[in-house]
């Protein structure tokens, strides 16, 4: 069973199991072709084969992402440092969250699953609230797989580093609830952008949207622009001031 240590194999087994459960329920209750275009274009194959293929495609996509991350770390980052040393001294390369997955692939997978579970639990709670009152009291946030995979997987890596397996399970689950609640809070702001009824689950987008969206009710466009400029400049001033203080102490 040593092959199970390979993260790609583990992801394939886990995701195939999930696809089997979901596809089985969908096939028993409705027409899969009405839910997934790829099922129709695939020739209406047996739903079990369909689930296995989807699990294989998912694991292959993750393998490609991790391979790209390793390429970025091994090749592109050193090249960037060489250029930055001459053009932008002391610059640090910024990479997206999938760069973390290669350090702890199992924690990333657990983080995704627990974060997605937290999103499902939040969705069920919102449905329960509307059912209890008999009307639409709060919008129902449907968990997005992409956000929970990338953000939840990253949360799982950090939580596993700080709190082990228990931290990974609890932290990722709380993360799934958090991005669902934040998406719910930011929805009224999106209505002013002609995006009413939509949500963006990334926590950074939601926090910025909540702050600046509510500022828009008291400030003009120029005022918000000034706030954005200050938010950008203040950290730079703070860092330069800290360096100057260190220089004075050294002298």
pLDDT in tens, 167-206: 999 999 999 999 999 988 888 887 666 666 777 778 888 8
Which tens digits make up the pLDDT trace of 128-153?
999 998 888 888 888 888 888 889 99
Which pLDDT score, from 0 to 100, does residue 78 have?
79
Contact 172, 143 (CB under 8 A): no
Instruction: Give the tokens for residue 108.
Output: 């990333």
Mean of per-residue pLDDT scores for the chain:
82
Contact 60, 20 (CB under 8 A): no
pTM of the model: 0.76
């Amino acid at each position: 069973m040593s092959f199970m240590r390979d993260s790609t194999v583990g992801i394939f087994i886990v995701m195939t199991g999930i696809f089997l459960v979901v596809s089985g329920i969908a096939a028993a209750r409705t027409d899969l072709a009405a839910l997934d275009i790829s099922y129709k274009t695939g020739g209406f194959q047996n739903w079990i084969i369909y689930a296995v293929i989807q699990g294989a495609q998912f694991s292959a996509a993750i393998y490609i992402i991790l391979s790209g991350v390793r390429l970025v770390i091994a090749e592109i980052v050193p090249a960037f440092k060489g250029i930055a040393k001459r053009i932008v001294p002391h610059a640090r390369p910024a990479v997206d969250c999938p760069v973390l997955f290669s350090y702890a692939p199992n924690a990333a997978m657990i983080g995704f699953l627990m974060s997605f579970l937290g999103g499902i639990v939040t969705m069920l709670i919102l449905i329960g609230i509307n059912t209890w009152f008999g009307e639409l009291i709060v919008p129902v946030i449907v968990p997005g797989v992409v956000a929970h995979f990338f953000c939840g997987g990253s949360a799982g890596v950090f939580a596993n580093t700080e709190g082990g397996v228990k931290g990974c399970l609890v932290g990722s689950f709380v993360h799934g609830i958090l991005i669902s609640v934040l998406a719910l809070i930011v929805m009224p702001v999106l209505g002013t952008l002609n995006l009413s009824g939509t949500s963006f689950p990334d926590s950074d987008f939601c926090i910025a949207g909540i702050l600046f969206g509510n500022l828009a009710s008291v400030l003009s466009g120029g005022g918000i622009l000034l706030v954005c400029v200050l938010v950008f400049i203040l950290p730079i001033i703070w860092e330069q001031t800290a360096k100057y203080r260190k220089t004075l102490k050294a002298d």
